[in-house]
Each structure stands twice: as C-alpha cells, then as structure tokens.
Structure 1
C-alpha cells in the first residue's frame, strides 16, 4: 500500500485549539529566521572541498547513528547497514540494499525524533511524497539520488538553501585547520568556523592518548615531553583556532568534575604516561578534572566559550567499538552531578566577566535541580539546549518547563543542533522552534506573558540569545 507522506503545518504544536492558534502566530515570526548552528559535527572538509554528497544510503543512513542504532536494536547487524569495520572487513556495499533495509523497517521509528527529522528531510529537502516502505524503497532512492546529483545540492550551496547564518565544525586540538584556511580563501571563513575539542589530549587513560599528544605537539610546533609542554601546546593551538574564527571549546568528559590536582603529582602522571605507563582510572579521572580547570583558565585568557557535555559512558559495547570504532550509537547516559563537581571551577571563574560556560546534560533530572539554578546565579553560566536523547518533542517540553522557571530564557544558549547529519539541520531547528512556540503560547494563554512578549522571546531564542552566547572574538 502506498502511504502518502506530507507534513502537517501544525505538527508538534499544542493540541488545544486556542493555545495552538497562539503558537501558530508565534511560529510564523520565527520560521523565516536564519539558522545559527554553533555546535555541530559536519566535517570542515565537506565544506572546504564542496564535494557532492554520496547516494541516499551514504547520506542519510550509514553515518547517522540515530538511524542505525534503532535498526541495530532490532537485531540488524551494523555491517549489513554498510557501517565500515575497523579491520577493513566485509560490509554491505550496495547502497540500494541498505536503503531497502531501512525502508522495510520504517515502522520502527514511530514516535521517535528520528522519524520527525527524516520526514522533514524527505519532504522539504528531497521532495518525496510517499512514506518509506518495502514497496516505495526504490522509487524513493531514485528520487533522492536525483536531488543529490544536482550541482545545486552541495555543501556550500546548502548553506544558503537552509538559511544557515553560521555553522561550527568540531575539530580535534591537533587539527592543522587546513580546511578552515581553505574556507577562508573561498570567502567562507566567517560562516564556517571551528570548535576546539581537546578531549583526546586530556583523557590520559584513553587508548591513543600518547599518539594524540604527539600529533598535538606536531600541530603546535612544540615537542611535548612534560605537563608544561602539553599546556603550552594547547595554548598555541587555541590561539590558532581563535585566529581561524573559533568561538568555543567543547568537552565531552564522563564527569563534570573540574578540580585542581597537586601540580607535582599531575606532572609526574604525565611523565609516567608518556613513558608508557597506563594510569589507574582514579588517576585518569583526577587528571581530567584538573585539565578541565586548566581549560577554564585558558578560556579566560583567550575568550573561547567553554561547552561541557558530560554524563555519557561512551562506546558501551566493547565488541562494537572493536569492530566498527567510536560513535556508533552505543554511547549511553549516566547520572551526572554538577553542583559540587563544578564548585571549584565556579569559585575561581564563575564571576569573571571573561569566562563563559555552557552546560549540557543528558540527565534530565538535573535541569531544575542543578543546571538551571547554576545558570540562574552565576553570570558566567548558560544552560545548553536539550542534547542527544533529549532533543525530542517531549524531551524539549520537559526541558523548557524544568529550566525556564528557575533560570529564565535569557540564561540559555539558544538551540544547538549537535549533528553530523547535515540534511537534518533544518528539521532539528524547526522542531525546536515549534516546541518553544508551543511553550510560549501556553504562557500567553495562562496570562503569564503578553503575546508580543512571547513573540519577541521566541525571536530572541533563535537569534539574539545564541549570538550573545557565542560572540565573535578578536583575531
């Protein structure tokens, strides 16, 4: 059976007709505004080379762990979805076959944000008018492939089509930033900017740490033989990121802990690790907490906004990690504590006008208990948008209700899409604007805000607030 695929104009808005009418009016004012994408994972190389996207499966399925993890949860092997193996072993290479597997299992996405994003992409980006199914798979594949082959459907052209004002990439501390240099030469250096991600150089207990430190030293032109050398190299690279247009750092540690370690002990630990001794988990955790404090101090020096994304036990399935590598859908949230963990950092920098910290969480129990109160007290702190498992319609609603009453709207970062799936960026921003319009409409209907105030707040959440949260720096 052919099932038509259309987008209801009032999707994700409140069900109550009176509140929905207000939400529609608010949404009309934000829908045409530009997208400010200050935390993303689209590769800088894709923009710099402006190479055509691959086929539908390679664009929409294989690299998107939101999509593949659902299929994997139903017993479909990642190899059968074309996800590369670390050992170069055999995986499905026929993209049409991969696409058919996805379409045959479309029902699995019912009620998920992935379905919302995919429907938006299929209709708005690719002009599809029937739902995925075993019967429609080949027709959809051909339709999407035709769009992807169009020279107008390239990364740089999509910046204009999607209305993206600015987009950040996320780059390792050891990056030579050559792709960003190329973008600057092409006149896009102000529009596609890097974000400094030093995790691999700070996580001293992680496999590959010594190799990343060596790469960091090579990029910075510094031989790293001790802790002082590591800190110098990080400072040099941060300055290079700022010169390339960076506005923020990004830290994805397991814990939010940021606390000083005895300097001699930290130096001895680095020397030992560089010599090949693997630190204990306790030593590694203490060093990471120490280095987060160092990163905060450096943010005061260079102005980069510090983003903290803790609380995820990454690569939960060691077998998947060994076969397919990192970031394959097996990063699982853990309970996360912020109030005590961040106190040493905020005691030092919380009232420093040079310091700016954006806190994210996948543990929604801390929205109202910890993050919103911190953002509502410290002038340096902003609460970040719902992230990963919470960037869903109901997750966003719960977030608004839990955080806004304590910290208000203007202590937030605005929405960040946090995605590698370039074609889904407009869908993610659209959903966020709809949820905010619905929440603000309820405040109007309850006579807690005037409608003009609600409309201005919605506009600010889309433009004014993210621009203020991630200001440009002097290069």
Structure 2
C-alpha cells in the first residue's frame, strides 16, 4: 500500500517553537509573491507553440539531469529512461521508463529533487498517494490525462504559477524565432532571452568552428577579423535585447579574465581562428572575452552573469554518446581573487557595469566572493547554484556571505532550471529557507522583525528585479555607431 503524500506547512522551518513562529510570519509575507525567474534554461518553444506536454516521462524525467544522473549512478541506463542521445529520440516506452523511475524513487530521499517532485505532485497535480512502484501507473495515467487539458498547457501553467518573468538562455546563433512568435501572438506572459556566447567564445567547445561560421552568416560580418568578430557580438546582443534580454550568461571553466592590449588580443584571436592554439591560449581567449563582454555591457547595459567552476562533460563516453548537459558536469576548485582582478582593475569601479558571480566552490564564499562583492561596486553574488540549490546549500550560502557582503550585495534567488514545473517548488524552498535564516537572526536579537520582514520581500522579489534591470527599459546602441 502506498504511503500518503503530505507536505507539512512547517517544512524547512526551525524546530524551536518560538523561532518557528517568526519564520511562519516572515514566510507569509512572501508565499504568494510573483515569481521572478531571471536565469533559467526552459525551452522557449513550449511557450511559443503552447502545445500540450505529452506524458509524465517527457515532462519530468527525460529532460531533467538532476533526476536521471542519480538513476545513472545506480546503474540505470539512460536509454531506458527516455533520454535522447546523439542518435536521436529515445526508443524507450514512456510508461516503462516511468515505472522504472517509480521503482527507484527511494534513491532521492533527502535530496532537493524529492522536495521539488513532491511539491509538484501534490500542489500541481493533486496527488494524495506517494509515488512508488504500486502507484506508477496511477501517476502516469492521471498526469497524462491532466496534460491534455487546457489548464495544463504551458501558458496556462505559467499564469497559474504566478510567474511575472521567465528568462531562457540562447546562443548567439539562435534565430530567436520562438521569442518572436511569442511576441507576435499577443500573449501577455513575459518570457525573455539571455545572451549565452559560449559556443563562439570558447575555442575548445566542440561546436566552435560551425558556430563561428553561422555567427558570421547571421550578422553579415567578417568574423575572421577581430573587428568584425566583435561587431558581430554587438549586433547579436542588440537582437537579443529586442527580444527582452537584460543579461548575458557565461559558463566558462574558470573565472579567469584578462586585459590584453588591442594588438595582443588581435594576435591571440588569429591564433584561435587558425586552429593553432594551445589549451593555455584557449583559456586566455576566454578570459579576454569576459573583459570584452564587460566593455560591451558599458555600452548596452546588459548585466553579466559569470558562473565558472564546472568540469563539463566529465564522462567522456556519455558525452560522445549523449551530448552535453547529461548530468556529468562536476564542480572544481575555483579562484576568484586573482582570476577577476584584470577585469576589476579595468572596470571594477565603474557603476555602469553589473556583474553577477556564481560558484560551485563553496569554500570560496567567505574567503573570496563575499569580500569581493562587499567591496567592488560592480559585483553582486548569485545565489547558491546547481549542486547547492538545496536547503543546506542555501543555508551555507547565507551563513558564509551575509556577515561580509550583507543581503544587498546578493541578487535574491533564481532557479536555473530546465524543469518548468519545478520552478514554483524551487522558489518556495528558497523563501522558506530565507524565512528560517532571518527568523534565527530575529530570535538572537541581531535584527528586528520589521527589518527581517523588509529583507525577505527584497530577497524574494525586489533584489532580482533590481539586479537584472527588469524595471529599466534597456536600449542597445546601434551597432553601426559603436
């Protein structure tokens, strides 16, 4: 017999009764606030086409590397879970894949994935029975039936979730047709894009050569020249801004920046374009391009997001067979003090620039990131991210950064997800954890409760809007005038 699926109203709140009461009051202030999701990776086609999601496996399991990486670690082949490979769509039967997932759902006990899933199952689909092998078909059928109704189409869910803004992430060679279609449709949902130039700034990216060719064709620039290459970036950034972009997004292996002379940068660029570069050259080129992107942000106002420190595609076989973003990215040690110094020496005191820095290396919170953000006007700290987007990860972030950087050198919460239905669950977890953290400060008489009440609203809503310039109309300069 299946267990009952319950969500305690006090989940993630302090065990101490008095402190828990404060957390309840603080959480009540933000529980129903609109969701600002300024950094994510959902598919804009969902909202452009507004077609029904097909089934539980396609919606929950196949696109979510948080889920299938855990199953893969226990020896479950990805092809049995509906995950597409480089050869094309999976041939797995969706129901059988879901049954396999349900038989192994115990693997997620204690993980944030379990919290997110249970929130969605209870709050979105109304299940009272927990998912396990005995309820797999019940879940698959009921979810499938719900997905065929208008209330579960992507735009209807967007509105039901009270999402005020959702940002997706596209490469410079994306034609943005889905964003254009949304705009042409007259739908009022605010879905914007973000400029992610990695495929055309990372010489070691497997799609670099093809992307550079497309980059030139789309912009009409001679991208084999340093001047034309930089102008192509300006042109595409302007096109992204026309589709609502307020930010750029940079997922480099390290946080390295550089400030080469014009002649040095151009010489390095030609080495990269000619394919005669070393790994050190590739790293230096990525570093220089972060500074070039920052200089462009002075002109067009786009906020920079830098999230380094992931050894991408660590599993060579999996990358060869299944491609990128299949759960095999592993955090690495990351330096920020020395790595960011060239950019900060050049632009760190220019208040026109805004740079949001993320990390997967928690040891850098108190030692490097909080002191840097607590000093340089251009820097803000992104929230606990990816592997640390969890209750304990969020608590560690607040504990290690608040005393040095405060709350207002951070940018609130963003969910960074490909799993659309998990967005409300993730924001709810963040709001509960912040309520608990602030309640402890109140209980210890470190801040007054009325101050905490202001802070929690800022963390949930005001800070992300301010950090990502979501209330400021950005106007890109004409590329021809730059």
Correspondence for 1:37: 37
**CA apart distance, 1:265:** 4.4
Moved more, 221-230 or 73-82: 221-230
Correspondence for 1:149: 148
Describe how 1:240-389 pairs up with structure 2 within 5 A: 240-275=239-274, 277-389=275-387
Matched position secondary structure for 2:356: strand
Moved more, 33-42 or 187-196: 187-196
* Equivalent residue pairs, number: 473
1:4 matches 2:4: yes
Q: Separation in 2 of the partners of 1:157 and 1:350?
A: 43
Contact 2:301 2:474 (C-alpha < 8 Å) held by counterparts: no
Contact 1:259 1:289 (C-alpha < 8 Å) held by counterparts: yes
Q: Separation in 2 of the partners of 1:302 and 1:46?
A: 29
- TM-score, normalization by structure 1: 0.97
Q: Deviations over 1:29-57 (max 9, x none)?
A: 10010000000101112111111112000
Describe how 1:220-259 pairs up with structure 2 within 5 A: 220-259=219-258
1:109 matches 2:123: no
Matched position secondary structure for 1:463: helix
Q: Separation in 2 of the partners of 1:227 and 1:71?
A: 46
Cα distance change on mapping 1:448 and 1:273 into 2, 3 Å: closer
Q: Separation in 2 of the partners of 1:226 and 1:375?
A: 36
Contact 1:130 1:136 (C-alpha < 8 Å) held by counterparts: yes
**CA apart distance, 1:188:** 4.6
Q: Separation in 1 of the partners of 2:53 and 2:62?
A: 13
Correspondence for 2:405: 407
Q: Deviations over 1:1-42 (max 9, x none)?
A: 211111111111111111111101111110010000000101
Q: Deviations over 1:60-100 (max 9, x none)?
A: 00110000000000001111111112124x84421000000
Contact 1:174 1:217 (C-alpha < 8 Å) held by counterparts: no
Contact 2:38 2:166 (C-alpha < 8 Å) held by counterparts: yes
Correspondence for 1:437: 435
Contact 1:205 1:278 (C-alpha < 8 Å) held by counterparts: no
Any stretches of 5+ residues in structure 2 without a counterpart?
476-482
Correspondence for 1:473: 473
Correspondence for 2:478: none
Correspondence for 1:397: 395
Cα distance change on mapping 1:94 and 1:398 into 2, 3 Å: same
Correspondence for 2:67: 67
Q: Separation in 2 of the partners of 1:96 and 1:177?
A: 33
- TM-score, normalization by structure 2: 0.96
**CA apart distance, 1:189:** 7.3
Any stretches of 5+ residues in structure 1 without a counterpart?
none
**CA apart distance, 1:273:** 3.9
Contact 1:180 1:189 (C-alpha < 8 Å) held by counterparts: no
